[in-house]
Amino acid sequence: MMHPLSLTVNGVPYEIAADPGRTLLSVIRGELGLTGTKEGCDDSECGACMVLIDGRPVNSCSYLALQAEGREVTTVEGLAGAGGPSALQRALVEAGGVQCGFCTSGMLVSAQALLAERPDPSEDEVRLALAGNLCRCTGYQKIVQAVLDAATELRDARV
C-alpha cells in the first residue's frame, strides 16, 4: 500500500507516493532521478549513500523514505551552488582525492556536515567525521587534505 510523502530535496519540494518499505536511497535515485547518491553495501557500512537530513549525515540505504516526511534532505547534487561546484567539491578535485569516484558523494556529504558544525576542524576531526565512509582507492590522505583546504578557503572568504 502506497503512502503519500512530502519532503524537500536540495531545496525542491516533492509530493510522491512511497511503499512503507522503500528506503530513502531508492526513492532519491528512482523517483527523483538524483543518482549522485550511490548504493554500495546496502547495510550502512560504506557511506556511499550518505545524505544530509536536516543537516545531519545519514546512511540513506537504511533510512526509510517515509521517515523523511517533512524533512530537508540534501544530496551531493545539492552541495553545488548556482556558480558551480562548492569549495569542498573543488578542493577534492584539486587535491586529487577522487579516483574511481564511488565514495565521493558520501565523502562530500559527510565533510559538508563537519564543516557546517566545525568550520575550522583539525585533521583528527576530519578523519573522525569521515570514518563512516569507505574508500578503496585513495588512502584517504588526499581526501582529508581537501577537507582541510576547503575549510581554509571558506574561513578566508568569511574574513
Domain count, the chain: 2
Residue 137 pLDDT > 90, yes or no? no
Q: What is the CATH number of the domain that holds 32?
A: 3.10.20.30
- Whole-prediction pTM: 0.94
Tens of pLDDT, residues 39-53: 998 889 999 999 999
Kindly give, in sequence order, each residue whose CB lies less than 8 Å from that of residue 100, ignoring residues fewer than 6 positions away: 136, 137
Same domain, 115 and 54: no
48: amino acid identity, one letter: A
Instruction: Quickly list H helices, the chain.
Output: 24-30, 87-94, 104-117, 123-129, 141-158
Kindly give, in sequence order, each residue whose CB lies less than 8 Å from that of residue 118, ignoring residues fewer than 6 positions away: 125
Residue 82: the pLDDT is 82
Same domain, 153 and 99: yes
Q: What residues are paired with 7 via a beta bridge? A: 14
Same domain, 24 and 59: yes
Tens of pLDDT, residues 27-41: 999 999 999 999 998
